[in-house]
């Protein structure tokens, strides 16, 4: 198969050319290539598949149907590999649940599904981290653990296995009592707010854990500018910490909650416009190292209720690449190669994979993306409902399998 006339774009830049793919591997890149199967990609980008390491299932329910839907929708959004967060129901903390996920790892015409293992089991004790990592979990995932004996033991396992900790910093006492970010909008709506300290204090403490044990910590869905400053300072001093931010916190602010719109109730909550602009500035300065669609869809029964009682989360992975293009590339916020570093190379590195480059000899997990097309967001429980986005995924090649949309 030859993809002809595409804008070949990866972390190294852009160039025009043809790409020959044989048995799922790129065997030649050049001009005027010929072959039996030719795909005209004039005016389209050919880019590495995106990788999202912070993905959840509908209603957090671990089921075959939900895994199948996630796999197909992720690929439709340009994502070739997803990593399930471990906080599903049931929790991914034992060999049985992991085996179930792995049975659906390579679904036809869908993204590859990987999994993180929960640091703790349902009883609050350490899960069998060593066994789960050997069985194929790509990382350890946890939200804040206030027991530093437990977190130290997790760090020791990670050090031995040379794996990263996916860490969601949140003070549970704040989160359980609030439903959106503390501030003017929360006061206007009469809703209890969540203090920014919920995130910042635990990022500060985990930086010291990472420093002491020499482990990599990926801070998931960071929202506070102060947190980004702490992470940046730690990296400059040699600590292996990474700042991941969700697209929602770059694209929207807490005013989306006005009218008690439950589709804007996400975790972590949207921040005010001033902080959102600080996050954009941090992105431009290179202080944000990875992005996520923070996909966490919910059924109507969990969204068509009061804001206070509604479940957190929004659906976003089906439109991930068009969202990125519309809000970051079309606005000249960052370049396409920089974007691919944030959504392909960096998240791949976090789970021990290689991605982000289109080169001869590499496996072709790639996406053909037409920036001239437009797509409507169809989901009535999306933060971006009724929006028209620029760009459309026309085709994906994942594990050697071609899927056209």
Stretch (H or E) spanning 404: strand 401-404
pLDDT on residue 61: 98
Residue 5 lies in a domain: no
Residue 210 lies in a domain: yes
pTM: 0.97
pLDDT on residue 324: 98
Residue 170 belongs to domain with CATH number: 3.20.20.140
Residue 397 lies in a domain: no
Q: What are the pLDDT digits (tens) for 29-68?
A: 999 999 889 999 999 999 999 999 999 999 999 999 999 9
Residue 174 lies in a domain: yes
Reduced to 3 states (helix: H, G, I; strand: E, B; else coil), residue 24 is coil
Residue 367 lies in a domain: no
The total of structural domains in the chain comes to 1
Q: What are the pLDDT digits (tens) for 4-35?
A: 999 999 999 999 999 999 999 999 999 999 98
R_g (Cα) of the chain, nearest Å: 21
Question: Domain range spanning residue 192?
Answer: 47-358
Residue 368 lies in a domain: no
What average pLDDT score do residues 231-253 get? 98
Stretch (H or E) spanning 193: strand 193-194
Residue 239 lies in a domain: yes
pLDDT on residue 351: 97
Judge residue 64's burial from the number of C-beta atoms within 10 Å of its C-beta, 0-12 exposed, 13-18 middle, 19 or more buried.
exposed
Percent of the chain with pLDDT over 90: 96
Evaluate whether 221 touches 208 at the Cβ level (below 8 Å). Answer: no
DSSP labels for 52-102? EEEE--GGGB--HHHHHHHHHHHHHTTEEEEEE-S-SBS-S-SHHHHHHHH
Percent of the chain with pLDDT over 70: 100
Q: 231 falls in which pLDDT band (50, 70, 90)?
A: very high
User: What whole-number distance in Å separates Cα of residue 263 and Cα of residue 383?
Assistant: 5
pLDDT on residue 175: 79
Q: What are the pLDDT digits (tens) for 303-324?
A: 999 999 999 999 999 999 999 9
Residue 11 lies in a domain: no
pLDDT at 177 over 90: no
């Amino acid at each position: 198969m030859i993809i002809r006339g595409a804008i070949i774009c990866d972390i190294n830049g852009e160039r025009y050319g043809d790409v020959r793919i044989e048995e799922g591997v790129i065997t030649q890149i050049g001009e005027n290539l010929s072959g039996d199967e030719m795909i005209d990609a004039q005016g389209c980008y050919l880019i590495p598949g995106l990788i999202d390491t912070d993905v959840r299932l509908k209603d957090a329910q671990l089921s075959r149907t939900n895994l199948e839907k996630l796999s197909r929708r992720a690929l439709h959004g340009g994502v070739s590999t997803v990593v399930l967060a471990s906080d599903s129901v049931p929790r991914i903390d034992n060999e049985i649940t992991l085996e179930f996920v792995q049975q659906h790892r390579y679904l036809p015409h869908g993204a590859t599904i990987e999994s993180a293992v929960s640091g703790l089991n349902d009883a609050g004790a350490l899960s069998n981290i060593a066994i789960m990592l050997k069985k194929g979990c790509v990382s350890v995932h946890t939200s804040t653990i206030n027991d530093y004996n437990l977190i130290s033991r997790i760090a020791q396992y990670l050090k031995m296995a040379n794996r990263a900790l996916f860490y969601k910093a949140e003070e549970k006492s704040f989160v359980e009592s609030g439903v959106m970010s503390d501030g003017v909008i929360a006061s206007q709506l009469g809703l209890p707010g969540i203090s920014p300290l919920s995130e910042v204090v635990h990022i500060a403490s985990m930086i010291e854990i990472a420093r002491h044990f020499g482990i990599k910590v990926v801070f998931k869905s960071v929202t506070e500018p102060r947190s980004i400053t702490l992470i940046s300072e730690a990296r400059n001093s040699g600590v292996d910490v990474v700042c991941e931010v969700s697209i929602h916190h770059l694209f929207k602010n807490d005013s989306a909650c006005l009218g008690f719109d439950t589709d804007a109730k996400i975790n972590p909550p949207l921040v005010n416009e001033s902080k959102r602009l600080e996050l954009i500035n941090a992105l431009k300065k290179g202080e944000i190292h990875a992005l996520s669609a923070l996909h966490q869809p919910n059924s109507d029964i969990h969204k068509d209720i009061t804001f206070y009682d509604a479940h957190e989360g929004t659906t976003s992975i089906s439109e991930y690449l068009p969202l990125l293009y519309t809000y970051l590339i079309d606005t000249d916020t960052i370049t396409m190669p920089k974007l691919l570093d944030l959504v392909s190379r960096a998240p791949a590195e976090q789970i021990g994979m290689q991605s982000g480059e289109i080169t001869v000899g590499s496996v072709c997990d790639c996406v053909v993306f037409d920036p001239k097309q437009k797509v409507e967001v169809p989901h009535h429980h999306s933060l971006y409902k009724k929006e028209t986005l620029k760009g459309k995924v026309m085709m994906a090649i994942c594990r050697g399998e071609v899927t056209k949309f």
